[in-house]
Structure 1
Amino acid sequence: MEPAALARLLDLPQGEEALRARLGREGHPGLNGALEAYLKRLSAPKAVLEALAALKVGAVVTGQQAGLLGGPALTFYKAHTALGLAGRVGAAGVFWVASQDHDVEEVRHLHLLLDEEVRTLSLPLPPLPSGRIPLAPYREALVAFLGPWAREERVAYALEGQTLSEFFARVLLAFLGERGLIPFDPMAEELAPLFREALERELSDPLASAEAINQEAARIRALGGKPPLGRKPGATNLFLETDARRLLHYGEGSFTDGVRRYSKKELLEILQADPARLTPAAGLRPVLQDLVLPTAGFVVGPNEFRYVAELSRVYALYGLPMPALFLRIQGMVLEPPIRRILERYALDPWAFVDRGEEAFLEAARGALEGFREVESALAHLQKEVEALRERARALEPTLDRPFRRFGARLKGEGERLLKKVLRARLAKDATLLHHLERLKRHLRPFGLPQERVYPFPMYALRHGNALARLQEAPLEGRAVIPL
């Protein structure tokens, strides 16, 4: 189910009016002091430290896993939407660094388009939360892969990070700090203690939030939706980090991570000694986030929207209002050579992202010598068949339906043959083939939208106007960012 339909079905809070209605809620009493200490340790720009004052008004929050060099460009598009909405209402834009996530397959690859070639660096990261993975063993490989960019001031600053998640936070500060974006790493030593109280509360009734999720999932199914979250019997919404990060189960008064059992007292002792070792699952994370931050708005992607939509009962369990939900922009950077190719064929870039080669072939028809004649002849044949149908129907009305079916089959077969002609002609036209391959590399690398592969700093390092163009982009919908 699409986010818009789901929002209507569940009557979820959306829009600027809902955002403004949620301003003014207080966050954790120690939030500003802890954030200031964290940001000063990272040598954050002055604009970021000044943005802390806006937390008194509220926060528009977004987040993403700690990918290399900021991860795919959608990271920056989330940040842009959050900053823009925060600016409209006088709130702070906060970026949740998902440092507790241990799915390293999502963050260990860095793809760059260099000299018209897609190059990939894949790091052999251990299956740990990114907040626990030191950057030092991988810094040399990153520097070698980035080449001259590694010496650029912003990148060099980011590479000073001690962990993978700190590297990510520093990228945000280096490229978006002047806009006042506040990174928030829940595993940072200054920030992890802010979650002790909420985690203690979850341990006191460890199955309540799981049951709330299952109840809402049942309601969504009854309304015709497909909820993405569900908790199995005994499963909590908490992970415990030992030699690995494992989901806790609860039963008969004790907890287990599948390796050993823990009493509530033992987990509370772990929480006091190192609060970063107890972390929330997806069904609890946004709520814990909003218990610490004065969240008024939450910027998410389409998949995140679906699971956050399922958490209304968990929010109610903790006495919190759900934040106003916003979808991030879908962004596409168009560098000058790619703009020229698109203009040459009058090709809509989003049509190419959605349909790939098929959209290109349709746009390129006019450039293929002799194709128009074939296309015109086939259209003429279809008109003749239509005229024949009219004459046959005058002679015998019962012939109308079979002639109509014949015409439909002729049209479908004609379109199939035209596509074969286009592809055959394309294979022999070096210029067309070159243009198609360039569009694929820039707009659909690996068959995916550009925003899911290349990091936005790649464009910012190549083009001095990239960050300004991003700042000018709309806050919702699809946005082309011309450079």
Structure 2
Amino acid sequence: MEPALLARLLNLPQGEEALRAQLGRKGHPKLGEALRAYLKRLQAPEEAFSALERLEAGAVVTGQQAGLLGGPALTFYKAHTALCLAHRAGAAGVFWVASQDHDVEEVRHLHLLQDEELKTLSLPLPPKPSGRLPLAPHRKALQDFLGPWAQDPRVAYALEAETLSEFFARVLLAFLGERGLLPFDPMAEELAPLFREALERELSDPLASAEAINQGARRLKDLGAKPPLGRPPGATNLFLETEERRLLFYREGAFTDGVRRYTAKELREILQADPSRLTPAAGLRPVFQDLVLPTAGFVVGPNEFRYVAELSGVYALHGLPMPALFLRMQGVVLEPPVRRILERYRLDPWAFVDRGEEAFLEALRENLEGFRQLEGELAGLLEEVQALAERARALEPTLDRPFRRFLARLGGEGERLLRKVLRARLSRDAVFLHHLERLKRHLLPLGLPQERVFPYAMYALRHQNAMERLKEAPWEGRAVLVL
């Protein structure tokens, strides 16, 4: 189900009016002090400290896993949307660094396009939260892979980080800090204590939020949507980190992580000693975020939208209003060689992102000498058959349906033959094939949309105008960033 339809059916808050209505919410009393200390440790730019003052008005929040070099470009697009909305509302743009996530497969790869070749660095990371993974063992590999880019002041600053999540936060500050973006790492020593109260509440009623999620799932099912979240019997919404990060279950008055049992008292002692060891599951994370931050707006991707839509009961359980939801901007970057190829074929970049080779073949129709004539002759043939069908129907009306089926089959076979001509010519023409492969390499690397593979920092390191182009882009919808 599309997010817009889901939002209407569930009456979810959306739009700038809903955002402004939630401005002025209070965050954690110690938020400003803790965030200032965190930014000071990261040597954040002055614009980030200035943005702290706007937290009094409210925050527009977004977030992502702590990917290498900022992760795929969609990370910067999320930040851009949040910053634009925050600027319009007089609030602060906050980026939640998902440092508690232990799915390292999401963050251990870095894909770059260098000398027209897709190159990949894959770090051997253990399955731990990125906030626990030291950068030092991987710093040399990153420097070697980045080559001269490692000497860029922005990258060199980021590579001074202690952990992978801090590396990510420093990349955000290096490239977007001057726009006032505030990174927020819930595992940072300055920020983790802010969640003690929320964690205490979950421990006191450990199955309530899980039941609220399941109620939300049933509501989505009733609307004909597929719920992305669901909690099995006895599952809480909390992970405990020991030698691994494991989901806690609650049975017969005690907790278990599948290895040993814990009393509520023991977990509270862990919480007091190190609050970063207890972390929320996906169904609780947005609520924890909003218990600490004065969130008025929340910028998400289409998949995130669906799971946040399931959480209205969890928000109500914690006495929180759901923030106004916004879909992030989608972007495609066009470097000069790719822009020239698209212009030659009069091919829309988003058509290629959506349909790949099929879109290129459609564009090729206009550029292949003699093809339009062949296409015209086929159309003429179909017109002749149509005229024949009309004469036959005049003689015998019962032949109408057989002739319509014959026309449909003939038209379909003709289209298939034309496409075979295009594909055969494409496979033999070195120029066409080169152009198609180059478009795939830039716009559909690994068969995925560009924004899900290449970091936007790559373009910023290659083109001086890349960050300005992003700043000029619309905050919503689909954008083409021409460099």
Q: TM-score, normalised by structure 2?
A: 0.99
CA RMSD of aligned residues (A): 0.6
Alignment of 1:52-71 (within 5 A): 52-71=52-71
Q: Which moved more, 1:148-157 or 1:211-220?
A: 211-220
Equivalent residue letter for 1:233 = P
Match of 2:153 in 1: 153
Deviation at 1:118, TM superposition (A): 0.3
Alpha-carbon distance in structure 1 between the residues aligned to 2:334 and 2:383: 41
Deviation at 1:220, TM superposition (A): 1.6
Deviation at 1:55, TM superposition (A): 0.3
Alpha-carbon distance in structure 2 between the residues aligned to 1:429 and 1:252: 71
Deviation at 1:337, TM superposition (A): 1.1
Equivalent residue letter for 1:22 = Q
Match of 1:296 in 2: 296
Alpha-carbon distance in structure 2 between the residues aligned to 1:366 and 1:7: 41
Count how many residue pairs are aligned between Structure 1 and Structure 2. 483
Match of 1:367 in 2: 367
Q: Deviations over 1:150-201 (max 9, x none)?
A: 0000000000000000000000000000000000000000000000011001
Match of 2:180 in 1: 180
Match of 2:388 in 1: 388
Deviation at 1:108, TM superposition (A): 0.4
Match of 2:73 in 1: 73
Match of 1:131 in 2: 131
Deviation at 1:410, TM superposition (A): 0.5
Alpha-carbon distance in structure 1 between the residues aligned to 2:383 and 2:119: 51
Equivalent residue letter for 2:352 = F
Deviation at 1:76, TM superposition (A): 0.1
Equivalent residue letter for 1:305 = F
**3-state SS of 1:366 partner:** coil
Q: Which moved more, 1:362-371 or 1:159-168?
A: 362-371
**3-state SS of 1:49 partner:** helix
Q: Deviations over 1:56-112 (max 9, x none)?
A: 000000000000000000000000000000000100000000000000001000000
1:143 aligns with 2:143: yes
Deviation at 1:369, TM superposition (A): 2.3
Q: Deviations over 1:359-393 (max 9, x none)?
A: 00110112212222221221111111111111111
Deviation at 1:219, TM superposition (A): 1.6
**3-state SS of 1:56 partner:** coil
Alpha-carbon distance in structure 1 between the residues aligned to 2:223 and 2:117: 48
Alpha-carbon distance in structure 2 between the residues aligned to 1:43 and 1:17: 35
Deviation at 1:5, TM superposition (A): 0.9
Alpha-carbon distance in structure 1 between the residues aligned to 2:114 and 2:223: 49
Q: Deviations over 1:269-300 (max 9, x none)?
A: 00011000000001110001000000000000
Alpha-carbon distance in structure 2 between the residues aligned to 1:296 and 1:102: 28
Alpha-carbon distance in structure 1 between the residues aligned to 2:403 and 2:252: 74
Equivalent residue letter for 1:221 = K
**3-state SS of 2:119 partner:** strand
Alpha-carbon distance in structure 2 between the residues aligned to 1:220 and 1:406: 44
**3-state SS of 2:346 partner:** coil
**3-state SS of 1:240 partner:** strand
Alpha-carbon distance in structure 2 between the residues aligned to 1:99 and 1:270: 19
Any runs of at least 4 consecutive aligned residues in structure 1 with deviations exceeding 2 A, and if so which? Answer: none
Alignment of 1:210-359 (within 5 A): 210-359=210-359
Alpha-carbon distance in structure 2 between the residues aligned to 1:146 and 1:388: 67
Deviation at 1:249, TM superposition (A): 0.1
Alpha-carbon distance in structure 2 between the residues aligned to 1:349 and 1:56: 41
Alpha-carbon distance in structure 1 between the residues aligned to 2:100 and 2:344: 47
Alpha-carbon distance in structure 2 between the residues aligned to 1:475 and 1:452: 18
Q: Which moved more, 1:216-225 or 1:79-88?
A: 216-225
Alpha-carbon distance in structure 1 between the residues aligned to 2:277 and 2:368: 62
**3-state SS of 1:468 partner:** helix
Alpha-carbon distance in structure 2 between the residues aligned to 1:306 and 1:419: 38
**3-state SS of 1:367 partner:** coil
1:10 aligns with 2:19: no
Alpha-carbon distance in structure 1 between the residues aligned to 2:420 and 2:219: 49
Match of 1:106 in 2: 106
5+ residue gaps, structure 2: none
Match of 2:165 in 1: 165
Alpha-carbon distance in structure 2 between the residues aligned to 1:211 and 1:65: 26
Deviation at 1:121, TM superposition (A): 0.3
Alpha-carbon distance in structure 1 between the residues aligned to 2:12 and 2:251: 33
Alpha-carbon distance in structure 2 between the residues aligned to 1:260 and 1:190: 30
1:445 aligns with 2:434: no
Alpha-carbon distance in structure 1 between the residues aligned to 2:311 and 2:444: 34
Alpha-carbon distance in structure 1 between the residues aligned to 2:114 and 2:453: 14
Alpha-carbon distance in structure 2 between the residues aligned to 1:245 and 1:216: 26
Equivalent residue letter for 1:104 = V
Match of 1:206 in 2: 206
Deviation at 1:428, TM superposition (A): 1.1
**3-state SS of 2:399 partner:** helix
Alpha-carbon distance in structure 2 between the residues aligned to 1:428 and 1:224: 48
Alpha-carbon distance in structure 2 between the residues aligned to 1:366 and 1:217: 49
Alpha-carbon distance in structure 2 between the residues aligned to 1:292 and 1:262: 27
Deviation at 1:401, TM superposition (A): 1.2
Equivalent residue letter for 2:108 = R
Equivalent residue letter for 1:161 = A
Equivalent residue letter for 2:387 = A
Alpha-carbon distance in structure 1 between the residues aligned to 2:224 and 2:424: 45
Equivalent residue letter for 1:118 = L
Alpha-carbon distance in structure 2 between the residues aligned to 1:408 and 1:350: 30
Match of 1:35 in 2: 35
Identity fraction in percent = 81
Match of 2:84 in 1: 84
5+ residue gaps, structure 1: none
**3-state SS of 2:55 partner:** helix
Alpha-carbon distance in structure 2 between the residues aligned to 1:73 and 1:223: 33
**3-state SS of 2:322 partner:** coil
